[in-house]
Each structure stands twice: as C-alpha cells, then as structure tokens.
Structure 1
Amino acid sequence: MVLDTVMQTLHVLVGALWVGSVVFVAGAVLPSAVEGALDAAPLESIADRLVYLSRGASVVMLLTGGHLAGTGYTVASLTGTWRGHLVLAMLALWLVLTALVEIGRSRLVDGLREKRVRTPAEETATIFRAAAVVGVLLLVDAGLLASGFVLY
C-alpha cells in the first residue's frame, strides 16, 4: 500500500513537471525566440535540458506507471473497462509526447547550429504546441483516473 502511494505520487509529480516544462517551452521560450529575444546558445541549452528532462521523465513514468498498472490491473481490466482504456490512452499519449519532444528538439537544434534562431524556433513551434496539447491531455487523463469518476 505504501509503495503504491509512493509510486502514484512520484508518477503524478514527474508527469506534471514534464508537461509543465513542455508547455513553458511551447508557450514562453519559443515565442521569445521568434521575437528575437533569445540567442542560439541559450535556446540550445534550454532545448537540451528539456530533452534530458523528457528522457528522464519517460523512464520514471514507465517504471512507476508499469508498477501501478501491474498491481492494479489485469489484461482483461485494461482492455475491457473504461479505466483500463484510460490507462492505455495514457500510455499512447506518453509515447506521442516523448516522440514530439525528441523530434522538436532535434529540428530546433539543427537550425540553431546554423546560427539561426527565429526560423528554427518558428518552424518547431507547431511541434512543441502539439506536444503541449498532448501533455495537457495526459493530465486530463490522469485527473479522470485519480478522481475515480470513471469506474467501469
């Protein structure tokens, strides 16, 4: 019981930090770069930190989420109940968020290495906005699971 509580708390905290970081980059950092307020070096540093956070969060989410799913669900309950579907949707959203952050960072850094800032920031903004939307959907999914609203 205590282990499950620790795992759930860690899962939610890391997920919220991860999503918050992506939303911050999409909503504050990239618009500032498009406006010319950031140089290439700081923007590349931010992108690198985001991807390292994303990779670390992905591992933590996999381990904690795997533990929670393994102790709280069976294959039948994952595939045959609304709560199980929410868990599977969370897994799919997690994979999409990870992929979008990796792709966005790669494309952004490629442009920054050419000593350009505004164009790569503008070109990757859509990818990071999509990642932010996926992240918010993850938090909504987690809220539905945590609320107990969806029982069957």
Structure 2
Amino acid sequence: MLVDTAVTVLHVLTGALWVGSVVFVAGAILPAAVGGSLDAAPLESMSRTLVVGSRGASVVMFLTGGHLAGTRYTVETLTGTGRGHLVLAMLALWLVLAALVEVGNGRLTDGLQEKRVRAPARDALGVFRAAAVVGVLLLVDAGLLATGAAFY
C-alpha cells in the first residue's frame, strides 16, 4: 500500500511538472522568442533542459504508470471498463506528448544552431501549443481517474 501511494505521488507530480513545463514553453518562452526578447544561447539552453526533462519524465511516467496499471488492472478491466479506457487514453496521450516535444524541439534547435531565433521559434510554436493541449488533456484524464468519475 505504501509503495503504491509513493508510486502514485511520483507519477502525478512528474506528469504535472512535465505538462507545466511544456505549457510554460508554449505560452511564455516561445512567444517571447518570436517577439525578439530572447537570444539564441539562452533559448538553446532552455530547449536542451526541456528535452532532457521530457525524456526523463517519459521514463518515470512509463515505469510508474506501468506499475500502477499492472497492480490495479487486468487486460479485461483495461479494455472493458471506462476506467480502463481512461488509462489507455492516458498512455496514448503520453506517447503523443513525448513525440510532440521531440518534434518541436527538433524544429527549434535546427534554427538555433544557425543562431537564428524568431523563425525557429515560430516554426516550433504550433507544435508546442499542440503539446500543451495534449498535456492539459492528460491532466483532465488523470483528474477523472483520481476522482473516480470514470464510468464503469
């Protein structure tokens, strides 16, 4: 019971920090870069930090989510109940979020290496906004699971 509680807390905190960082990049960092308020070097450093954090969060979410799914669900409950469907939706959203962060970071860093800022930030902004939306959907999904509001 204590292990499951600790794993749940780690899972939720990691997810919240990951989504929060993506939303911050999409809502504050990249718009500032598009507006010319950031130089290439700090933006490159922030981008590198985000992608390392995103990859680390992906691993933590995979391990903790796998533990939670393995101890709380069977194949039948994952595929045959509302809560199980929410867990599977969370897995799909997690994969999409990780992919969008990687794609957005790739678009951003390609231009930053040439010491350009505005165009790469503009190219990455749409991808990071999509990632932010996916992240918010992940948090909504988690909230539905946490409250037990899922349909059985």
Q: Give the match's secondary structure for 2:36.
A: coil
1:19 alignment partner in structure 2:
19
Task: Report the CA distance between 1:145 and its aligned residue.
Answer: 0.1
2:127 alignment partner in structure 1:
127
Distance in 2, matches of 1:21 and 1:109, equals 17
1:73 alignment partner in structure 2:
73
Distance in 1, matches of 2:94 and 2:23, equals 15
1:6 alignment partner in structure 2:
6
Give the counterpart letter for 2:17 in structure 1: L
User: Normalized against structure 2, the TM-score is what?
Assistant: 0.99
Give 5+ residue unaligned stretches, structure 1.
none
Task: Report the CA distance between 1:151 and its aligned residue.
Answer: 4.4
2:50 alignment partner in structure 1:
50
User: Once superposed, what is the RMSD of the aligned Cα atoms?
Assistant: 0.6
Distance in 2, matches of 1:150 and 1:46, equals 37
Give the counterpart letter for 2:135 in structure 1: G
Task: Report the CA distance between 1:150 and its aligned residue.
Answer: 1.2
Matches within 5 A, 1:57-136: 57-136=57-136
Give 5+ residue unaligned stretches, structure 2.
none
Superposed CA deviations along residues 3-25 of structure 1, whole A, max 9, x for unmatched, are 11001000000000000000000
Distance in 2, matches of 1:33 and 1:22, equals 15
Residue 37 in 1 paired to residue 74 in 2? no
Superposed CA deviations along residues 92-138 of structure 1, whole A, max 9, x for unmatched, are 00000000001110110001111110011011100000000000000
Superposed CA deviations along residues 37-72 of structure 1, whole A, max 9, x for unmatched, are 000010011000000000000000000000000000
